[in-house]
Amino acid sequence: MAILVDRSTRVLVQGITGREGSFHTQQMQAYGTTVVAGVVPGRGGAEALGVPVFDTVTAAVAAAGADTAFTIVPPAFAADAVMEAAAAGLRLGVCVTEGIPVLDMVRAAAFVQRTAMRLVGPNCPGLMTPGEAKIGFIPNHVGRPGRVGVVARSGTLTYEVIQGLSDAGHGETTAVGIGGDPVLGSTFVDILPLFAADPATHAVVLVGEIGGSDEERAAEWIRASGFDKPVVAFISGRTAPPGKRMGHAGAIISGTTGSAQGKIDALASVGAAVAGTIEDVVRLVGERLPGS
């Protein structure tokens, strides 16, 4: 099994004719993802990469049966594109656009919460169910089917963790890059219950970073829910000085809030094994996987 995406997922691409949209759609198709349509206002009736292009998401859903949106459009238009996908009744949206104005995302996130769509992103690498489908930037070669769920704020570390787990023979059920912006469609607390309910996921790797309180809230959820699958955590940005923004817009420490040590302590207090390096992540997963 897997979470969020599998062989049956039918994807429409908002921005399919752009340079980045075209490139990453081709990579998704090469991986085996079922891309059924593109959406580019003003280009309706055309074709791109072997699929029809529509002016609106509603038209693409009606004609092509899409259930998931991949949003890869410029920042000024991304929040509206996300809301259009949600209004059309799609079950999942994955937005990889970086640099969306925060107030735009506040508005979009509030809108999405009133619909049936689950949003992953923005400013994220997307997600992958190895051997079945991927949406976003995760390199095609890094994953392999296995028993470990991955949820991460950092894009690059998502790839590294997947590669390390795959090389060690553990593999992944699904890997989800949630992004590191201040306003996100899905946080750790939204993704962890999906792994909890997935019988094929036997352990979870949680990759966090300094800034915000998402990791602390994840620890609170693990404690309150009685989550009983092994968790291995990695927190990046341990050497960042307080008050200095590092990488993602959300990666800033204010006082003790959002510090690496605070997150490490919170996760360790609920039984998570906290790794110091990616190599440690792989080793700790191997030690904790049932039957290993």
Integer CA distances (angstroms), 86 to 25, 35, 73, 178, 241, in order: 20, 18, 16, 18, 39
The fraction of the chain above a pLDDT of 70, given in percent, is 92
Count of other CB atoms within 10 angstroms of residue 65: 12
Determine how β-strand 133-136 pairs with β-strand 126-129: antiparallel
Instruction: Report if residue 245 sits inside a domain.
Output: yes
- Whether the pLDDT of residue 118 is over 90: the answer is yes
Provide mean pLDDT across the span 220-238. Answer: 93
Sequence-separated contacts (24+) of 50-56 with Cβ below 8 Å:
51/16, 53/16, 53/17, 54/12, 56/84, 56/88
CA 270 – CA 273 distance, rounded (Å): 9
**Could you read off the pLDDT of 133-151 as tens digits, one per residue?**
999 999 999 999 999 999 9
186 and 112 Cβ atoms separated by less than 8 Å: no
* Average pLDDT over the chain, rounded to an integer: 93
Q: Are 66 and 90 in contact (CB under 8 A)?
A: yes
Residues 156, 114 share a domain: no
Domain shared by 153 and 113, yes or no: no
153 and 282 share one domain? yes
Residues 86 and 185 in one domain: no
248 among known catalytic residues: yes
Whether 171 and 253 share a structural domain: yes
Provide the residue range defining the domain that includes 79. Answer: 10-120
* More confident: 292 or 88: 88
Is residue 98 located within the same domain as residue 163?
Answer: no
Q: Is the pLDDT of residue 256 over 90?
A: no
Place of tokens 């927190």: 235
Answer whether residue 130 is part of any domain: no
83 plus 210 within the same structural domain:
no
Q: Do 151 and 277 lie in a common domain?
A: yes
Q: What is the pLDDT of residues 154-210, one digit of tens each?
A: 888 999 999 999 999 999 999 999 998 999 999 999 999 999 999 999 999 999 998
10-14, strands of its sheet edge to edge: 47-48, 51-54, 34-39, 10-14, 68-71, 92-95, 118-120
Tell if the pTM clears 0.85, that is, is over it: yes
Looking at 60, 86, 120, which one is the last position of a domain?
Answer: 120
Number of domains forming the structure of the chain: 2
* Token code pair at residue 44: 């309706």
Shared domain for 197 and 116, answered yes or no, is no
CA-based Rg of the chain, rounded to a whole angstrom?
18
**Pick the catalytic residue: 24, 170, 202, 248?**
248
Asked if 181 and 263 sit in the same domain, the reply is: yes
Instruction: Give the pLDDT confidence score for residue 239 in this predicted structure.
Output: 56
Q: Note whether 101 and 155 are same-domain residues.
A: no
pLDDT at 249: 46
Q: What does 77-124 look like in DSSP terms, one character per residue?
A: HHHHHHHHHHHTT-SEEEE--S---HHHHHHHHHHHHTSS-EEE-SSS
| Domain presence at residue 2 | no
Residue 127 domain-assigned (yes or no): no
